[in-house]
Structure 1
Amino acid sequence: MTDTSVDEMSFETAMAELEKVLGQLERGDVALEESIALYERGAALKKRCETKLKEAEEKVAAITLDGDGNPVGLKPVEDT
């Protein structure tokens, strides 16, 4: 587990750490308190990955096409 803030991680970094966390939890070779901390970290990492995927999906959906189907630009994405 790294000390990097989950909110600052790229999708790839968060996914790699999530895989490590899951591996540790699946092996079951950590103490109960550490398991709880790992579970909480994993939940935060999962949320980060979902957020980054949603952002990417919104960017892809915002690509506009011309009459021939070629991408010509992006529509502005509304902030939520």
Structure 2
Amino acid sequence: MAKSAKSPASFEAALAQLEDIIQAMESGDIPLEAALASYKQGVELIKFCQGKLADAEQQLKILENDELKPLELPDGQ
């Protein structure tokens, strides 16, 4: 089930991938090595999602203080 290490296209895509991983792991039908690779991918997806949520939270804090500033994302995101 392990996929490429590139970042997902969006927060929603990452959540969908996480749901797929969870479903596959809960089924218990995947071999140990695949389960470990899926777990590792899931951890990376969680980090990606946490980063996106932190960025959104920062944007909201800026907007709440009437300091409208563009959110600067790293290249490619």
Question: Which TM-score applies when normalising by structure 2?
Answer: 0.77
Task: Give the CA deviation at 1:74.
Answer: 1.1
Aligned partners of 1:18 and 1:45 also within 8 Å: yes
- Corresponding residue of 1:3: 4
Note the aligned Cα RMSD (angstroms): 2.4
Mapping of 1:1-80 within 5 angstroms? 1=1, 2-3=3-4, 5-6=6-7, 8-63=8-63, 64-65=65-66, 73-75=67-69
User: Which structure has the bigger radius of gyration?
Assistant: 1
Question: Which amino acid in the other structure matches residue 20 of structure 1?
Answer: D
CA deviations over 1:20-74 (Å, ceiling 9, x no partner): 0111111111000000000000000011011101100100110133xxxxxxx51
Aligned residues with identical type, % of pairs: 39
Q: Which runs of 5 or more residues in structure 1 are unaligned?
A: 66-72
Q: Which runs of 5 or more residues in structure 2 are unaligned?
A: 73-77
Question: Which amino acid in the other structure matches residue 35 of structure 2?
Answer: S
Aligned partners of 1:18 and 1:42 also within 8 Å: yes
Question: Which amino acid in the other structure matches residue 53 of structure 2?
Answer: L
Higher RCO (C-alpha under 8 Å, 6+ residues apart): 2
Which has more strand, going by share of residues? 1
Q: Which secondary structure does the structure 1 equivalent of 2:14 belong to?
A: helix
